[in-house]
Structure 1
Amino acid sequence: MRGRVTETSTEELYERFPHLRKIDLVWGSPECRKFLFMLMTDTRGGTRQGFPREHGATIMSLLLEHDRRFPQFENEISPNNHRWGNDVRRRDYG
Structure 2
Amino acid sequence: MPRTDTTRLYAAHPHLVRIDELWGQKACRDLLTHLMTETRDGERAGFCEENASTLLKLLMEHDRAFPEFDDSGKIASWGERPS
Identify unmatched segments of 5+ residues in structure 2. none
Shift of 1:20: 0.2
Are residues 49 and 87 of structure 1, via their aligned partners in 2, closer, same or farther at CA, if it must alter by over 3 Å?
farther
2:55 equivalent to 1:59 = yes
What is the TM-score when the length of structure 1 is the normalising length?
0.76
User: For the residues of structure 2 that align with 1:14 and 1:36, how far apart are their CA atoms?
Assistant: 14
Aligned pair 1:14/2:7, yes or no? no
* Runs ≥4 residues deviating over 3 A: none
RMSD: 1.8
- Identity, % of aligned pairs? 44
Q: Which residue of the partner structure matches residue 70 of structure 2?
A: 74
Please give the TM-score of this superposition, normalised by the length of structure 2.
0.86
- Structure 1: stretches of 5+ with no match in the other structure: 77-81, 90-94
